[in-house]
Structure 1
């Protein structure tokens, strides 16, 4: 949504439906988007947003109750809200707010009879250390162990933003482009679990699974809440690489990972190129579509 030339919310939902896309993520409760999603059948990850709202959700059960009353109750179930993400890639001292905010939101949902909606948080790959080989993955900090164990009690999945692009960009000497973009040829065998990996996404995902197991939360499912590849703006950012990665991702995730075979619920970042996104030029070029709704490259969903 970080652009001044993007289609209306209703046009976006129409585009999703015309392409058969069954899932969406929005990064705060935007009313126009929630209204447009009514009766669309599209499953939604609804983020709370970071910053002040995270601290208020953590410190005040009444704030959590009003957040649910304002942002969930008016829309559910005509909007298929599957998960509420308490913060996106939270870091620093704010990480201490995640678990109390999740507890308060779960209580608020239960009080409204909405406990079918699962509450989680979205993490990035840096929460894992010793990620190679995948079986040696472990959470870097204790707060993640507490979150993992809590998710095990609620039945909610851990939401993980997983980007082979950034891993490859950071270490092209040791990681091949083909391994990062689902091209056949390269395989890596994990000496710890004996499993063989043919692509980087599987290896990164199974490092998260290993960390969950070490935290005593091996039953927690993992959802890929973001993954993608930029088509322009920087190192290895090209239409060909983006298409190879995202088509490879779509074609692969139905099979799951070596450690966890079976469908892997996955969300691609992003639907559109965003001309007002801050940071590296690649950040403005992750879209599958241009703002005029034309595809950046051909892709099958």
Structure 2
């Protein structure tokens, strides 16, 4: 999963220095992303058992992992199933390839596996982004033909698909293809999957963005002069910027599902056990209320279940896990 430096407009949050710690809300809005880039991780069946024992009701996997899909049978865990970026061009160019993908990776498992969403591409950038919408159309067609139309098809985007993200009411999609995707989702009733990381906004401008505001710690409130709403944490502001972009694209009814959000416990600036615990527990406790623009439960997936020792890139990439590979928590966390 590529990590993003947020759009420069996000750094205009300079004057925002507050946060608010929400009380826990008893809704099943939280899932956890399950990455497997490690050589010391538990078996797929042990992982599913850990999800169930901790009351985690949602999972995201980043490719059609057959062992994980088999382990999920009968678990009731709601799943985001990624196609993987490596097949995006093929799915876009060939309806028969999309049909074959559905027959191989969805039909054998559904409904024993509660596949809720298929993510056609994750944080796709550059010219490859032009393949997203045709691939979504082909997967949707293949699902319908197979009698599996209840599964919603979307794509998972980086936050920087939004420009002018502060104040949140100014949010607008930075690229034209996103408006087309938004309107397509409006027609199919599927949500937009968005990866939202206050950590990267804070790391990019710690002088002006308060750590407390970024990690759900108590502080001041800030009013958006554009919509009159009050914001008490950076996560809400970022999500509502995506909402504003959807509205401007003519897709007012499209829900947002946060397909990744998290905070690393080590490996870089601002990455500590204390900050990760504050952010992730704050997120779990908060999302049941939704955002100022969209009150109500906000379906959200924390990144990630485990520290993954074979991930590349910045050292923080290997430290986003809620659990160590031995299934012990990196810090106390309640769901």
Indicate the TM-score class for this superposition, using the shorter chain for normalisation: over 0.9
Q: What's the counterpart of residue 104 of structure 2?
A: 70
Distance 1:280 1:186 in 2: 32
1:186 CA displacement: 2.4
Distance 2:334 2:73 in 1: 25
Quick check: 1:31 aligned with 2:66?
yes
Distance 1:194 1:172 in 2: 26
1:5 to 28, 40, 57: 40
Distance 1:151 1:118 in 2: 9
**Could you list the runs of 5+ residues in structure 1 that have no partner in the other structure?**
none
Which structure would you say has the larger RCO, counting Cα contacts within 8 Å and 6 or more residues apart? 2
Quick check: 1:260 aligned with 2:294?
yes
Distance 2:156 2:227 in 1: 27
Q: Give runs of ≥4 in structure 1 deviating > 2 Å.
A: none
Summarize the alignment of residues 208-223 of structure 1 with structure 2, pairs less than 5 Å apart.
Answer: 208-223=242-257
2:50 to 15, 21, 24: 15
Per-residue CA distance 1:174-214 (angstroms, 9 max, x = gap):
21000000011122211100111000000000000000000
TM-score with structure 2 setting the length: 0.89
Contact 1:253–1:264 at 8 Å: present in 2 too?
yes
Q: What's the counterpart of residue 91 of structure 2?
A: 57
Quick check: 1:139 aligned with 2:173?
yes
Distance 1:195 1:75 in 2: 43
Distance 1:187 1:275 in 2: 38
Summarize the alignment of residues 228-267 of structure 1 with structure 2, pairs less than 5 Å apart.
Answer: 228-267=262-301
Distance 1:228 1:185 in 2: 20
Q: What's the counterpart of residue 29 of structure 2?
A: none
**Could you list the runs of 5+ residues in structure 2 that have no partner in the other structure?**
1-35
Q: How many residues align?
A: 300
1:198 to 207, 229, 232: 232
1:174 alignment partner, SS class: coil
Contact 1:178–1:186 at 8 Å: present in 2 too?
no
Distance 1:282 1:150 in 2: 35
Distance 1:216 1:101 in 2: 21
Distance 1:181 1:246 in 2: 8
Distance 1:192 1:224 in 2: 23
1:140 CA displacement: 0.1
Q: What's the counterpart of residue 117 of structure 1?
A: 151
Summarize the alignment of residues 167-178 of structure 1 with structure 2, pairs less than 5 Å apart.
Answer: 167-178=201-212
Distance 1:173 1:198 in 2: 18
2:78 to 43, 50, 56: 43
CA RMSD of aligned residues (A): 0.4
Quick check: 1:162 aligned with 2:175?
no
TM-score with structure 1 setting the length: 0.99
Distance 2:252 2:199 in 1: 27
